[in-house]
Amino acid sequence: MSLAQGNAADDVRITTFILKVASRCNLNCRYCYMYNKGDESFRSQPNCMDPATVSVLLSRIASYCAEEKLEKVTFVFHGGEPLLAGIGFFRHFIGQAAAILGTGITPAYAIQTNGILLTDEWLDLFHEFNFQFGISLDGPAAINDRNRINYNGGGSYSLVKRALDQVLMDKRLKRLFGGVLTVIDLSADPLKIYHHWRDIGIKRCDFLLPDATHDNPAPGLSEDGCTTPYADWLITIFDVWFRSKDTRFSIRLFETIMNLLFDPTAGYDCLGGGQNGILVIETDGGIEPVDVLKICGPSFTKLGLNVNTHEIRDAYSSELVRLYQKGMAGVCDMCQSCPIVKVCGGGYLPHRYSLHRGFANPSVYCRDLTKLITHVRSSVLATIPPKTRRKLKMRPFSYEEAIQMQALRRVGRDLSS
């Protein structure tokens, strides 16, 4: 059965499948988009993906890859907490992938975990099959345990730190461990987090804006959208990190912004506005757009598509999937006129949503992104000789100037329309 619509030439090839192999979690993080933002569709999902769904899914992907002439596909295991699926599930999946995908399609594996269940056996698996992996943690115990809690309200830091110690001592994992993923808490001292990561031996980290929409904004944002608490928080870290000139410590968010200043292809789905070849498969085989869209409303990501009854290509019948794939091409008119749109890409799609206008809004973090990007941009350009800046046709401009340019360009667009 195929429902695909639209011009096939405009389709973005799907090269990454986020597999929700477990629909439950052993933590109850206060900010979690899966469980604590109003969407309870997980309750109707199987706890874990079963072997029959794995076989059908891999067969659909094999057919899609043959159709698209893809020689590589990435599987990102996610949840909930993916390790709840058990190590036997992963060995079964890998064996089935080898059998069904054959020698013409090379699978790459990645996983994001809270780390609580990590053992030597899991780390052996990651090494054996070259799993790229990251661990979610928000900072030292006093900060992490405010939000990353279990169902009894207890903190998770001590358990995750034990797993981190194992990872950092295992030299086999150096090239596989992508570092820690941290959700910003404005009440936390940003430099305490930064120095904590460095003190315990972390070499890579990333910072995430809390998931929010215009109807349900993040803590600290003003009603008029003109304050910049998240940019101010991040700039505190950026200035210390940038001045240190220590290339051995990587912060993905800052490095991505810096790269996007010179290379428009250097982004990902939260920054840069490139095309996104990502699709989510739920534990029951449901085919869905990016999972953070769950913050937009109950069952918002449910498309009525499933690998048991539909081909992968049928995802293109969804306007929501197509909008996500478009990247910057799908941003609103206000963003199209912005001087930094090629870096921010309009921000993350879920963060643009409102009940009134759908996704035809700037990000709820528009001012924060503008301030952070202009600050990073000016810091980088200050290190480049003026003659080189002129050749690159790049002049520094302040946050205030960027806001003025945004307003002037919007007026110009309105007058010409």
Looking at residue 151, its amino acid is: Y
Q: Would you place residue 410 in the very low, low, confident or very high pLDDT band (cuts 50, 70, 90)?
A: low
Q: What percent of the chain has pLDDT over 90?
A: 84
- C-alpha–C-alpha distance, residues 100 and 55, integer Å: 8
Confirm or reject CATH 3.50.7.10 for domain 8-328, answering yes or no: no
> In Å, what is the CA distance from 130 to each residue of 135, 138, 173?
16, 26, 9
Nearest 5°: the CA angle 115, 116, 118 is 65
Q: Among 42-46, 228-232, 253-257, name the one with the lowest average pLDDT.
A: 42-46
Q: Would you place residue 275 in the very low, low, confident or very high pLDDT band (cuts 50, 70, 90)?
A: confident
DSSP per residue, 120-187: HHHHHHHHHTT-EEEEE--SSHHHHHHHSB-TTS-B-HHHHHHHHHHHHH-GGGTTTEEEEEEE--TT
Which alpha helices (H) appear in 185-251, and where do they start and end?
190-199, 229-244
Query: Does the pLDDT of residue 277 top 50, yes or no?
Result: yes
pLDDT digits (tens, 9 = 90+) for 111-165: 999 999 999 999 999 999 999 999 999 999 999 999 999 999 999 999 999 999 9
pLDDT digits (tens, 9 = 90+) for 297-324: 999 999 999 999 999 999 999 999 999 9
Region 339-361 average pLDDT:
94
Q: Say whether pTM exceeds 0.85.
A: yes
Q: Which part of the chain is CATH 3.20.20.70?
A: 8-328
Strands 72-78 and 287-288: unpaired
Find where tokens 């008029």 sit: 224
Task: Calculate helix-pair angle for 252-260, 229-244, nearest 10 degrees.
Answer: 90
Mean pLDDT of the chain: 93
pLDDT digits (tens, 9 = 90+) for 57-107: 999 999 999 999 999 999 999 999 999 999 999 999 999 999 999 999 999
Query: Does the pLDDT of residue 1 top 60, yes or no?
Result: no
3-state secondary structure of 108: strand
* Residues 2 and 311 sit within 8 Å (Cβ to Cβ): yes
Q: Which two tokens stand for residue 252?
A: 């993905």
| Residues, the chain | 417
pLDDT digits (tens, 9 = 90+) for 379-398: 999 999 999 999 988 988 89
